[in-house]
Structure formats: structure tokens, C-alpha cells
Amino acid sequence: MRVLKGMRMDEGGDEHVDVTREVVVDDRTIRVRASYRYGGDVTVDLAIEDGEGERCGILTGTLAATDLLSASKALTSLFGAVASVLGQTNAGKAVEFEEVRRRYPNAYKPWTTAEEARLIERYRTQPNVAALAREFGRRPGGIAHRLEHLNLRPMPDRQPEPDAGYDDEEPDWG
């Protein structure tokens, strides 16, 4: 998944925040963009393209910024329910999840404050994200994302090694 974030000023001096997420699933590109002008509403555009770049789905709308979290939960629930009724399941994801958990027993588990403190301490002495991933039982991408969340950025030699056999997100260190 690629995540592009940006803040920009329009000609009138108003600040905007734009976040775009793009993911390719089963030869379809799903792109979601949310734009927010401070003090205003959030505009959301979702577009789906097939393997040839032809648009095969679109959803657009505007919501109050204060409704984002509840709308996110409602849409997730709605789409999951409709997919279930249509016979689409997460069976493949469950198998993938189990495979990842076999290799990284703590993958996808919430971080505790104690684990974060230990990660900060170990990061300062252990320059290899892959080694930290093994030590913490988490995916290299999970370690890298948590470091970024803690406002720590790996040096170029500390970036995560590719996770052979798994499609892990590559953080944008730019």
C-alpha cells in the first residue's frame, strides 16, 4: 500500500491536508483520497480501476470532520456485511494472518508502553530493523512504522530488509 500525505496552501492562503492511499488487490487498483480544508468538511473520493486502467467503480462524498471515525466504522461494517452476503470471505486473509503469526508471533498485536520503551532503548543500540523484528517477534515493516510513530527514523542502513515471502508495506522515509 502506498500512502501519500501532503499539506498545501491554496491561493487564498487556506491550508489543506490531502491523504491518498493506493492498494492493488487482485489486479485492481483501489485509490482513496481524502481532502480537508481547515475548518471545513472532508471530501472523500474512492476510485477502482481494473488491470488495464479502466475505471470500474467510484464513490464520492463529503462528511463533517467530526464524523470521520464513526463513518469509518460504519462503512467497514457495511462493506463487510455486504461482502459476506455476496459470499466473499476473508478465508485467504485468515490463512495469511496465521502464516505471518507463525513467523512473527507478536505481529498485529498492540504495542504496550513497556515494549515501546524497550524498542527505543534497543533501537539506539541495535541498528538493524530486521534484527529488531526478530527480537520483538514483529514484522520489519511493523518495527519501522512503530519507530516512525515514536518520531524515530531509521538511518539508511537501518531500513527494514525485504520480508521474503510476505508482502509487507514499505514505509516512506522521505
pLDDT in tens, the chain (174 residues): 444 455 554 556 567 788 888 888 878 899 999 888 888 899 999 999 998 889 999 999 999 989 988 988 888 888 878 887 887 876 666 667 778 888 899 998 899 999 999 999 999 887 688 999 999 999 998 998 899 888 887 554 444 444 433 344 444 444
Residues 6+ apart with CB under 8 A from 90: none
DSSP 159: S
Report the predicted TM-score, pTM, of the whole model to 2 decimal places.
0.46
- Cβ atoms of 43 and 54 closer than 8 Å: no
